[in-house]
Structure 1
Amino acid sequence: MRRVFSALAVTGCLVTGFPALTFAQSLPGLTLFSGVKSENQLPFRLDFGGQANSWDRYILRIPASKMKLAVAQFAITYPNYYRGTFDPKSVEVRVKGKSLPLSEVKWNKEARVIEIFPQEPVPAGSKVELVLSNVQNPAFGGMYYFNCQILSPGDVPLLRYLGSWVLSIT
């Protein structure tokens, strides 16, 4: 009986001693040879691990330091070799953890751009998360550069580059 209790105790210690595995993927601390300057890399998280040919949720973050102007429109562009799909009805803009009401979300497959229009401009200096749910990852893995551009209210109608998310689908 003592051996059984000893074995259970040792097994319990081993199981609880290992850190829990997480399936979410996020921006690595150091990216070599990405072609994107480190100051232009934006943080992100892939909630379900970024597995090829599976469903995922992309949480694309924009730090407050990058939000120097108020934003009336976000535009996310992606490369022509990205063959995933997006659900425009499952897009959110979060500021301080709260979802903002959106007036429209457009996905232009031919131009490879997702345009997000909040009902009210997002204030300058806000920490923003663009949440793309119900994303079907491409069938083949690879490195994909998603670029963030913004349009400020009353601005000349030209999108300004904020940075890039370097996503890796495995």
Structure 2
Amino acid sequence: MFSKSFVRRALSGLAIAGCLVVGLPTLSFADGLPGFTLWGGVKGEDSLNFRLDFGGRAGSWDRYRLRIPAKKMKLAVEQFAISYPDYYKGEFDTKNVEVIVKDKSIKLQEVRWNKDNHLLEIYPEEPIPAGSGVEIQLANVRNPSFGGMFYFNCQVLSPGDVPLLRYLGTWVITIS
């Protein structure tokens, strides 16, 4: 009735369509999570994990959960400096910044947003011990009104260290 080549092509087409349909729900769960960069970008060992709680939609409100693994925290930290590109036109709420260490929120001495230099500075009251996993939560963030890929660089200052910021890694945040 049908030729063998027709049946093979039809079955191949159905298999591909089935894989695409099965893969669609998985893709929708990826909203707000780090994606996969094919070209360029940050070296694997410098890439930091994050989550955008409300999907990273352009022009909307969001909460950024910026994570630093314990293995990156080789020295104690008394200041975090998060720089971002000049074309990122989002807004931060310095009153809604939280630093979480070992599942506990720590007290902050000060949070400064230097808009001119595209820098968010976070000063804990006490230095964060070396080897601690850290999550920096930025709540009430107003995402930029246009989408894009934004490199947020994390630098730290250690107590008693030469007063130069040390690079820890980069969060590659995509706003759609």
TM over 0.5: yes
Q: CA deviation at 1:24?
A: 4.8
Structure 1 segment 18-167 matched on structure 2, within 5 A: 22=29, 24-28=31-35, 30-167=36-173
Would the aligned equivalents of 1:106 and 1:114 in 2 still touch at CA under 8 Å? Answer: yes
Decide which structure has greater helix share. 2
Name the CA distance, whole Å, in 2 between partners of 1:162 and 1:71.
11
The alignment covers a number of residue pairs equal to 151
Identity level (%): 64
Structure 1, unpaired ranges of 5+: 1-17
CA contact (8 A) 1:23 1:48 kept: no
TM-score normalised over the length of structure 2: 0.82
The CA RMSD over aligned residues, in Å, is 1.4
Displaced runs of 4 or more, over 2 A: 21-24
Cα distance in structure 1, aligned partners of 2:74 and 2:151: 22
Report the Cα offset of residue 73 of structure 1: 0.2
After TM superposition, give the deviation of residue 34 of structure 1 in Å: 3.6
State the distance in 2 between where 1:141 and 1:84 align: 11
Structure 1 position 22, deviation (Å):
4.5
| Bigger Rg over Cα | 2
The two structures have a TM-score, normalised by structure 1, of 0.85
SS, match of residue 138 in structure 1: coil
The one-character-per-residue Cα deviations of 1:52-98 (angstroms, maximum 9, x if unpaired) are 00000000000001000000000000000000000000000000111
